[in-house]
Every structure is written in structure tokens, then in C-alpha cells.
């Protein structure tokens, strides 16, 4: 276990000029996984990255690498390398010298440097680019050089600070795939910072969803998408319909004036809750069929699907993603499986939430 | 559109004629046999011979160049350090105060700077001559260098420093391997600016120079007062040509090097 835990945040708080950026954060980073810190701008995700890199010191709490306290260790003495948002490639050096920078600083013999640089450039598919000047590279190529410059030092952890945000959509998708591949091949820990939920879902082993200096939820992309802990996470990751409801008993939920079967349990009798149903889990039916009746208010063609907004009799708004189209002002039926319903308790902590989910998910498998 | 451009060219041409005509006029008569600036009677290089045979003048030229080179090298070093200090000052008010103090020296009249140096040097007992001129030149050159280097520093992304630290660089390495190479064009610009300012300074030097030491501009001034000799014209022509050469060298450094380097890497795919 101790082998696997490499970075540990223990009740870390960070303040700038009296303003709290991170509040009492604790989490572990394990060896060899792809982590994503996901959150809106100003949530503190970059601050976490800079704490790990050593550019900042925690105001309170401890930060340990492999059990050793590193709060005051400067960045040049940490086995961590960063890929910066603006790449920060040195314009006065060519590609080779940029990548070799860290090796030269660490006084490696020059006959060792050349093969290492070549290998790193090969890893990022930039064979033969050694002699290019930085100003002659495209955005995607700069990105790769920045990654090569970081991995050539064989860090334990690679930190990536929104590295894809300056690329166009197509290149970004291609780079997401490549980064994931690279992480698997190198077998080192990647910590990736982004505000793009699709990026996070596509690449990560584990996601930390941050908001206002706190970790709202952590877990695999699947579990965060399917079982968001609260309104913020449900809203931030994907589209969702969030409707107020009540739990008359376990596995039964009532909302929009009706009662439905669901798979959630562990609530107080008649506890008021929030009900989440993803738009793609709603199926269009003929009028009178299905579980809910809604009137179509608007429809947008999104390419992959239609985005239909409808209103039910109780006045709740529903977003539906469907490959079928509907007519505005028509009454339509909506159907969903009991598994599509996810119930969120008000103000539940992440520990309680995980415990409750485990208690009945384990039972289901028997 | 075409017409507009012709008018603009004509205007520009006129401006340059007005600016350069007196210089060319002066250069033209430096070859005049008659020794006046009214009638051109024939071509001669006598005035140039006179300049080169004038031992006192040669010494002054050498002194001027030595003062210029020394003062610009020293003030470049001081100015770079000063610019780094201003750049790394975190507090906004302190930074602005430093910059203002720097700029006041730039804009205040040379006469005032010269007079105040004269007072200072006599107060602390520095003998007027080579040392006092050198010190004064260094002093008025430093703000120029700071002003030339600082924009380069501000242009530099702060993540360069982070990246260098991240890659294992100590503070010294960050300065030597990242910051200084990045601001090199600014350092050269500052050096050549300081050099030209020192070469053609008159007012400050006039105040702080003493017996037995003179620079070219002061010497030309005193000779011109005794009546115009065409050797002054010849000397001015030579100075003009040298200045032109320095400007060309400066141009080569600021444009030539950067371009030559960026094309050596081949074309982009």
C-alpha cells in the first residue's frame, strides 16, 4: 500500500493575501495512474498543481511524496515535471536544446544526452525535428516538444496544466488519445488539469471534481457521471435534469406528481431529495405511453441527436437527447428505466455517499 | 491610392532633406580648398590631413572613445541589474516609484544633470577630468539601459522561469540560461544607445571636465567659438560616418541575428 501511495495531501489549505484558495484538502495520488483535476476556473485546480510542482507552499497542512514531507522543497529538487499551458518553450533554443535543457542542468554527459532527447522526441512522434527552431513549429508540435522536454527527465509524476486548451478541436481530440497512450507506455503518474469535462471523462483513471477550493467528488469517470454526489457535479459533468422529489420508501421515489421505482436506498422515510436523469436516458414515446407526459417547447438539432426541451404537468422542465425528432407543442410520452434514476441527498458528504452506495450495490450483486 | 502614396513619399523626402541638408552642406565644404563655407573653389583633402596631423585632436578622439566604451559597458552591466531589480519588485507602488526615479533622470535637462554632478564632484573632492567624466557618463547612461532592457523582461512569459525551475535549474542557471539569453537583444540595444549618448554628449561633459581632459564635442565647441576652420567640418564628417557605422552595426545585431537564426532550421512542414 505504501508503495502505491506517492503523493499525499493532508488537510492542505492555501491562502493568498488572506483569500482562501484551497480549503482543507486531503487526497492521495497513486503510482502509475492518470488523474484529472476538473473544475471551473478559479476552483483551485491549478493551485494544487503548483503545490505539487513546488512553486507554492501550503499555508496549512502537509504535502508528502512517498511519505516524505516536501512542503518546503523547491521545484528544482522535486522529481516532478510540468507541461505548461503556454508550453513555455525557450525561444532562444532549438527543439533539441529545449528538450535537453533539464539534462544539461543536471550535468549529464553529452553522449548520454543525445539518445535521451531522441528517445523523448520519438515518444511524442517528433522524430527528425531536433534542429527546428521553436518559432517554426505549429501549436500541436510545440505541445509535443513541451511534453518531450518534461518526460526526458524521467519524472515520477507529470503535471499537465490545461495543455490542450490552445489547440483546435480536432487536434485536441487526437492529443487526448495520444496523451492517454503515452501515459500507459511510460507507466508514470499523470496529473492533468482541465475545465473540459469531456477531456476528463475520456482520459482519466480517476477524476477529482473541484469547486471553490474543495473536492466535491472523486472517482472513476463512470461513477462520477452515473452517480454525481450533488447538483454541482451533476451539472458540471454532462447535461442533466435535476428535479426535486421525495423518497416514500427505499427503491421508490416520487417526483412530478407521480411515483416511480428506482434502485437507490438508505434514505429516511419521506426524505426530500434531488432526482437526476440524464437527457440521453429519456426515451421518446407516443402520447399517452411511457411514464411521464410532457409538452415539447423547443428543439435543437445537435448533429448526433436532437435536444428537445419539454415541460411536464407539474411544471418541471425536461431536456431530452434523442435521435428521433418531435414537433413543437406536441404532447409526448417519456420512458426511463429505474436504473436511469439517480437520487442525490441534500448536503451529503462524500464518505457518507460512498458508504450508502456500497451498502446496497454490494447487495445487488448477490 | 497611388496618388496618396506619392504625396506621402514626397513629404517624407522633404523631411529628410531638411534634416540632412545641413549635414551634407557641412560635409561638402570640408573638401573646399578656399577654407570657407561660401565659395567652393576646388577639391582638397587638406582639412582631413590637418585633422590627422593634429596630435591633440587624436588624443581627444581616443579619450572620447575610451570614455564611451567604458561608460557604456559599465552602465550596461549596472542597467541590466537595475532592470532585473525593477522587474522582480513585487509591490506595485515600489515598482512605479523606482521606474519614476529612473525616468526623471531621462527627462531632466542635461544642463541640470551636469551642474549637479559638478557640485557633487567638487563636494566629495573628485578631481575633474577623466574619472569625473566617466562617472557622469555612466550615471546618465544607466537609466537608458534600464529603459531598453525592461520591456524585454516584461515581454518574457513568467512561465519561462517556472519551466526552468521545474526542469531543475537553480536561480543562477535560470538567470544565465533563460533570462539573459532572452533579453540579449535589449542588452545590445541598451549598450549601443549608451554608446551613442556618451559619444555625442556635450552639456554634461562640459560641466564636469577639467584641465587637460576633453571630449570631441567639447573640443569642437571650443574650436567653433574661435572661428570656423574647415578642419572642424572634416572632423564632423568623420564623426558622422562613424556614427552611421555604429547604427548599421546596431541594426545588424537587432535584426540580422534573429532572422538568420530562425531560418536555419528549415521550412515548416
HEC profile of chain A: CCCCEEEEEEEEEEEECCEEEEEEEEEEEECCCEEEEECCCCCCHHHHHHHHHCCCCCCEEEEEECCEECCCCCHHHCCEEEECCCCCCCCCCEHHHHHHHHHHHCCCCHHHHHHHHHHHHHHCCCCCCCCCEHHHCCHHHHHHHHHHHHHCCCCCEEEEECCCCCCCHHHHHHHHHHHHHHHHHHCCEEEEEECCHHHHHHHCCEEEEEECCEEEEEECHHHHHHCCCCHHHHHHCCCCEEEEEEEEECCEEEECCEEEECCCCCCCCCEEEEEEECHHHCEEECCCCCCEEEEEEEEEECCCCEEEEEEECCCCEEEEEECCCCCCCCEEEEECCHHHCEEECCCCCHHHHHHHHHHHHHHHHC
Indicate the domain borders of chain A: 5-226, 241-365
Q: What class does CATH assign to A241-365? A: mainly beta
Grid coordinates standing for B128? Answer: 575633474
Name the residue of chain B whose CA is nearest to A53's CA. B166
Confidence at residue B267, expressed as pLDDT on a 0 to 100 scale: 36
Tell me whether residues B265 and A133 touch, CB distance under 8 A: yes
At the topology level, CATH places domain B59-226 in: MetI-like fold (1.10.3720)
Task: Using an 8 Å CB-CB cutoff, list chain B residues near A81.
Answer: 166-167
- Per-residue pLDDT of A334-352, as tens digits, reads 999 999 999 999 888 888 8
Tell me whether residues B266 and A81 touch, CB distance under 8 A: no
When CB atoms are compared, the residue of B165, B177, B265 closest to A136 is: B265
| CB-based burial label for B249 (10 Å; 0-12, 13-18, 19+) | middle
Confidence at residue A295, expressed as pLDDT on a 0 to 100 scale: 93
Confidence at residue A131, expressed as pLDDT on a 0 to 100 scale: 93
Give the gap in angstroms from C-alpha A197 to the nearest C-alpha of chain B. 25
Residues 6+ apart with CB under 8 A from A175: A140, A143, A163, A164, A167
Grid coordinates standing for A217? Answer: 467528488
- List the one residue out of A29, A84, A24, A89 whose CA is nearest residue A59: A24
Q: What is the ipTM of this complex?
A: 0.81
Tell me whether residues A55 and B162 touch, CB distance under 8 A: yes
Indicate the domain borders of chain B: 59-226
Q: Where are the beta strands (DSSP E) in B17-156?
A: none
Q: What is the mean pLDDT of residues B102-126?
A: 91
When CB atoms are compared, the residue of B162, B167, B268 closest to A101 is: B167
Task: Using an 8 Å CB-CB cutoff, list chain B residues near A102.
Answer: 167-168
Confidence at residue B41, expressed as pLDDT on a 0 to 100 scale: 85
Tell me whether residues B182 and A91 touch, CB distance under 8 A: yes
| Residue pairs spanning A and B at CB distance below 8 A | 82
Q: What is the mean pLDDT of residues B22-38?
A: 85
Q: How far apart are CA A318 and CA A155, in angstroms?
A: 48
Candidate CATH numbers 1.10.4160.10, 3.40.640.10, 3.40.50.300, 2.20.25.240; the one for domain A5-226: 3.40.50.300
User: Are A311 and A351 a contacting pair, CB within 8 Å?
Assistant: no
Q: Is the pLDDT of residue B259 over 70?
A: no
Q: How many CB atoms lie within 10 A of CB B14?
A: 10
Give the gap in angstroms from C-alpha B194 to the nearest C-alpha of chain A. 25
Tell me whether residues A105 and B264 touch, CB distance under 8 A: no
Beta bridge partners of A190: A34, A158
Confidence at residue B200, expressed as pLDDT on a 0 to 100 scale: 83
Q: What are residue A70's phi and psi, to 5 degrees?
A: -125, 10
What is the full per-residue pLDDT of chain A (366 aa) written as tens digits?
445 668 999 999 999 988 999 999 999 999 999 999 999 988 999 999 999 999 999 999 999 998 889 999 999 999 899 999 999 999 999 999 999 999 999 999 989 999 999 999 998 989 999 999 999 999 889 999 999 999 999 999 999 999 888 888 888 898 899 999 999 999 999 999 999 999 999 999 999 999 999 999 999 999 999 999 999 999 999 889 999 999 998 899 999 888 999 998 888 888 999 999 999 999 999 888 889 999 999 999 998 899 999 999 888 999 999 998 888 998 999 999 999 999 999 888 888 888 888 887 755 444
Task: Using an 8 Å CB-CB cutoff, list chain A residues near B157.
Answer: 86, 88
Task: Mark out chain B residues that contact chain A at CB-CB < 8 A.
Answer: 157, 159-160, 162-170, 173, 177-178, 181-182, 184, 261-262, 264-268
Q: How far apart are CA A312 and CA A257, in angstroms?
A: 10
- Per-residue pLDDT of B164-222, as tens digits, reads 999 999 999 999 999 999 999 899 989 988 998 998 899 999 999 987 888 988 988 88
User: Are A189 and A158 a contacting pair, CB within 8 Å?
Assistant: yes
Residues 6+ apart with CB under 8 A from A186: A123, A151, A158
Name the one residue in this structure whose C-alpha cell is 541598451: B190
Name the residue of chain A whose CA is nearest to B260's CA. A133
Tell me whether residues B162 and A94 touch, CB distance under 8 A: no
User: Are B71 and B131 a contacting pair, CB within 8 Å?
Assistant: no
User: For A153, how many CA atoms within 13 A lie in the half-sphere containing its CB?
Assistant: 33
Give the gap in angstroms from C-alpha B98 to the nearest C-alpha of chain A. 24
What angle, 0 to 180 degrees and rounded to 10, lies between the N-to-C axes of helices B55-88 and B180-199? 140
Task: Mark out chain A residues that contact chain B at CB-CB < 8 A.
Answer: 53-55, 74-77, 80-82, 84-86, 88-94, 101-102, 105-106, 131-133, 135-138, 149-150, 153
- Residue B48 three-state SS: helix
Element (H, E) at B263: helix B257-263
- List the one residue out of B110, B116, B89 whose CA is nearest residue B100: B89
Give the gap in angstroms from C-alpha A55 to the nearest C-alpha of chain B. 7
Tell me whether residues A133 and B181 touch, CB distance under 8 A: no
When CB atoms are compared, the residue of A75, A92, A132 closest to B166 is: A75
Confidence at residue A137, expressed as pLDDT on a 0 to 100 scale: 93
Amino acid at each position: 500500500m505504501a508503495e502505491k501511495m506517492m503523493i499525499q495531501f493532508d488537510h492542505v489549505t492555501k491562502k493568498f493575501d488572506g483569500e482562501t484558495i484551497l480549503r482543507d484538502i486531503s487526497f492521495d495520488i497513486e503510482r502509475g495512474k492518470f488523474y484529472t483535476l476538473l473544475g471551473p476556473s478559479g476552483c483551485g485546480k491549478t493551485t494544487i498543481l503548483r503545490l505539487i510542482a513546488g512553486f507554492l507552499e501550503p499555508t496549512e497542512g502537509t504535502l508528502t511524496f512517498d511519505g516524505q514531507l516536501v512542503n518546503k522543497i523547491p521545484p528544482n529538487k522535486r522529481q516532478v515535471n510540468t507541461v505548461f499551458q503556454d508550453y513555455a518553450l525557450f525561444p532562444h533554443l532549438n527543439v533539441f536544446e529545449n528538450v535537453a535543457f533539464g539534462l544539461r542542468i543536471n550535468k549529464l554527459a553529452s553522449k548520454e544526452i543525445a539518445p535521451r532527447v531522441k528517445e523523448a522526441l520519438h515518444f511524442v512522434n517528433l522524430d527528425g525535428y531536433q534542429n527546428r527552431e521553436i518559432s517554426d513549429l505549429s501549436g500541436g508540435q510545440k505541445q509535443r516538444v513541451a511534453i518531450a522536454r518534461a518526460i526526458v527527465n524521467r519524472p515520477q509524476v507529470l503535471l499537465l496544466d490545461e495543455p490542450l486548451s490552445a489547440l483546435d478541436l480536432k487536434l485536441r481530440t487526437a492529443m487526448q488519445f495520444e496523451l492517454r497512450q503515452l501515459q500507459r507506455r511510460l507507466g508514470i503518474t499523470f496529473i492533468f488539469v482541465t475545465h473540459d469535462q469531456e477531456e476528463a471523462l475520456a482520459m482519466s483513471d480517476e477524476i477529482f471534481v473541484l469547486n471553490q477550493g474543495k473536492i466535491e467528488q472523486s472517482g472513476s469517470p463512470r461513477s462520477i457521471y452515473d452517480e454525481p454526489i450533488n447538483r454541482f457535479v451533476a451539472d458540471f459533468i454532462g447535461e442533466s435534469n435535476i428535479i426535486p422529489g421525495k423518497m416514500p420508501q427505499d427503491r421508490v421515489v416520487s417526483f412530478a406528481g407521480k411515483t416511480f421505482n428506482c434502485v437507490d436506498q438508505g434514505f429516511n422515510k419521506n426524505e426530500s431529495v434531488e432526482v437526476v436523469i440524464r437527457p440521453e436516458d429519456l426515451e421518446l414515446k407516443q402520447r399517452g405511453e411511457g411514464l411521464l407526459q410532457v409538452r415539447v417547447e423547443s428543439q435543437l438539432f445537435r448533429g448526433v441527436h436532437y435536444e428537445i426541451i419539454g415541460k411536464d404537468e407539474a411544471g418541471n422542465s425536461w431536456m431530452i437527447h434523442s435521435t428521433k425528432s418531435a414537433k413543437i407543442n406536441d404532447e409526448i410520452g417519456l420512458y426511463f428505466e429505474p436504473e436511469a434514476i439517480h437520487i442525490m441527498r441534500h448536503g451529503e458528504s462524500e464518505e457518507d455517499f460512498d458508504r450508502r452506495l456500497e451498502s446496497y450495490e454490494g447487495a445487488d450483486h448477490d | 491610392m497611388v496618388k496618396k502614396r506619392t504625396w506621402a513619399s514626397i513629404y517624407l523626402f522633404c523631411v529628410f532633406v531638411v534634416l540632412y541638408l545641413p549635414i551634407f552642406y557641412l560635409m561638402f565644404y570640408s573638401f573646399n580648398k578656399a577654407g570657407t563655407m561660401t565659395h567652393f573653389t576646388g577639391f582638397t583633402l587638406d582639412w582631413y590631413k590637418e585633422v590627422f596631423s593634429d596630435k591633440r585632436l587624436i588624443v581627444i578622439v581616443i579619450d572620447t572613445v575610451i570614455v564611451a566604451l567604458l561608460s557604456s559597458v559599465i552602465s550596461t552591466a549596472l542597467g541590466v541589474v537595475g532592470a532585473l531589480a525593477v522587474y522582480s519588485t513585487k509591490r506595485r507602488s515600489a515598482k512605479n516609484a523606482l521606474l519614476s526615479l529612473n525616468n526623471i533622470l531621462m527627462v531632466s535637462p542635461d544642463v541640470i544633470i551636469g551642474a549637479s554632478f559638478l557640485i557633487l564632484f567638487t563636494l566629495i573632492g573628485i578631481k575633474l577630468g577623466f574619472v569625473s567624466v566617466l562617472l557622469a557618463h555612466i550615471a546618465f547612461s544607466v537609466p537608458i539601459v534600464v529603459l531598453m532592457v525592461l520591456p524585454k523582461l516584461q515581454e518574457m512569459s513568467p512561465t519561462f522561469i517556472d519551466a526552468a525551475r521545474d526542469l531543475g535549474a537553480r536561480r543562477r542557471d535560470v538567470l544565465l540560461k533563460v533570462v539573459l539569453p532572452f533579453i540579449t537583444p535589449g542588452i545590445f540595444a541598451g549598450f549601443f544607445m549608451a554608446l551613442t549618448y556618451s559619444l555625442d554628449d556635450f552639456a554634461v561633459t562640459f560641466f564636469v571636465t577639467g584641465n587637460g581632459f576633453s571630449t570631441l564635442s567639447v573640443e569642437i565647441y571650443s574650436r567653433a567659438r574661435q572661428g570656423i576652420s574647415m578642419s572642424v567640418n572634416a572632423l564632423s564628417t568623420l564623426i558622422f560616418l562613424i556614427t552611421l557605422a555604429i547604427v548599421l552595426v546596431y541594426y545588424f545585431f537587432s535584426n540580422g541575428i534573429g532572422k538568420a537564426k530562425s531560418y536555419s532550421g528549415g521550412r515548416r512542414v
